Amino acid sequence: MTPYKRVVITGTGAVSPLGNTVQENWEKLLAGNSGIGALTRFDTTGFRCRIGGEVKNFSTDALLDPKEAKRLDMFCHFAVAAADQAVNQAGISGSEHGVNPERIGVMVSSGIGGLGTLSQQIQNLLDKGPGRVSPLTVPMMISDMAAGYLAIRYQFQGPNFGLVSACASGLHSIGEAFWMIRRGDADVILAGGTEAGITPIGQASFSSMHALSERNDDPTHASRPFDRDRDGFVPAEGAGILVLEDAEHAARRGATALAEVIGYGLSGDAFHITAPHSEGLGAARAICNAFTCAELPISALDYVNAHGTSTPLNDKVETLALKRALGEHAYRVAISSTKSMTGHMLGAAGGFESVVCALALKNGVIPGTMNYQTPDPDCDLNYTPNQCRELPLKVALNVSLGFGGHNAAVLFKAM
C-alpha cells in the first residue's frame, strides 16, 4: 500500500468583519478588536436583532472587471478576495511555478450561497413579473459557484466542488481536501469557506428561531462565547481559504510551509435539525476521529479554536464534547472562540478559523475569547478570557458544528 502523503499549508487568505487581509485580521484578533456593529445595508426597523458582522471597506474594483463582478453574488466576491491572497502567497498562479493545473483542485464551500441574489430576484418576480428575473439567477445563487468560479479564474482543473453542511461547510471542505491530497488525488487544493448571508430574510429567519443575540445597544459585546449571559450568536460574513499541498510537491518547488494538516474527523449527531446532541456525543466523536486519523495522543493538543457561537445551548454542549473527547486534558488545554470578535460567519467560519489556527501555530500566540465576564458553571474550561496569550504551540484543533448535526474537526501541527 502506498504510504499516505503529508499535507501542508502554503497559502492563507481571509476576509472578515475585522479586515480584508490576513495580516489585518490577525492584528485585530490579537488586539481584541470587535468587527460587530449596527447593520447598515438595509432598514432594520422591526427586527429583533439589528446587529451583525459586516465586511467593511470592501471593493471588487481591484479584483474583478465591473461586468464580471455583476455576474457574481457577494459570497463569490469574498471568495475571490481571500483566494487571491492565498494563491499569491503560495505562488501557484501559473505553470511557471512548477505546478500542473490538472493536479490543482478547488473545494471552497458556502452554507447558504447567494441568498442576496435569490432575495433580489424573488422581489423582481413579485414586483415586475417573470420576464424581469435575471437569467443569471441560478448560477449566482448556487453554493458551488465559488469553487467553480475560482477554478475558472486560476485555470485549476483538478477536483472541483463545493459541499454544504451549514456552519461546518468550510471545515469539512478543508478536511476533505486534506484526504484527497493525502491519498494522491491532487497535489494542491484551494479549500475553505465563504458566506454573505446578512440579508433581510437571513436576519429575520435566524431571529424567528431565537438564535440571534438581541444586545442591539451594545454590539461590540454581543458575541460572548461561554459567558453565562450569552444570548445568541451574531451573524457575520466573509471568507477563509487555505492552499493545501502535498509536502513533497511544496518542497520541490521551494514553497514555504506555514503549518501541517495532520488529522480530520467527522460525524453526524442524528439527533435534531438545529440543536446539537444534548450530551455532545457527535462532536466528541468527530474530535476523537481526528486524533485517530493523526495517530496522535490527546495530551499533544495545545490549543482549540472552538466553534463557540455564543448561543446558550451550543457553548454548553461543546464544552461537554471537549470534556468527553479530551478527558482531563480538556482542563489543561487553551481554548478560545474568535467568533467573540468576528461574529459567526456560518459556512465561512471553519475556513477563517483554520487560518487563525495556522497563524497561532506559526506565531506562538492564541487570540482570546472577548467579552468573557461572568463564568458559567456549565462552561468551566480555560477559554483564554479577554486577551491573547503567548504559548509554545505545536498542535491546534479547529471544531465546527452545523445545523443538521454535521460535525467536523481538523488538527494542525506547527512546522
- Look up 76 and say whether it is catalytic: no
Residue 395 pairs in a beta bridge with 413
What value, to the nearest 5°, has the Cα angle with vertex 203 and ends 199 and 204? 115
- For residue 277, the 8-state DSSP code is P
Catalytic annotation, pick one of 49, 167, 288, 293: 167
Indicate left, alpha or beta for 113 from its phi (over 0: left) and psi (-120 to 50: alpha): left
In the numeric block, the cell 504559548 is attached to: 391
In sign, the C-alpha dihedral spanning 36, 147, 395, 363 is negative
307 burial via Cβ count (<10 Å: 0-12, 13-18, 19+): buried
Cα distances (angstroms) measured from residue 363 to each of 58, 281, 394: 27, 33, 11
Of all residues in the chain, what percent are helix, strand and coil, respectively (each to 5)? 40, 20, 40
Q: DSSP assignment of 239-260, as one string?
A: EEEEEEEEHHHHHHTTPPP-EE
Tell me the angle at which helices 200-208 and 115-128 cross, rounded to the nearest 10 degrees: 110
Question: How far apart are alpha carbons 408 and 400 in whole angstroms?
Answer: 5
What are the angstrom distances between the C-alpha of 233 and each of 87, 194, 213, 311, 358? 31, 18, 5, 6, 24
Q: How many alpha carbons lie under 13 Å from residue 91 in its C-beta half-sphere?
A: 12
Q: Is residue 53 within 8 Å of 236, Cβ to Cβ?
A: yes
> What would the 3-class secondary structure string for 101-144 be?
HHHEEEEEECCCCCHHHHHHHHHHHHHHCHHHCCCCHHHHHCCC
How far does Cα 224 stand from its chain's mean position?
A: 18
H or E segment at 304? strand 303-305
Only one residue has cell 450530551, namely 279
As annotated, the active-site residues are 167
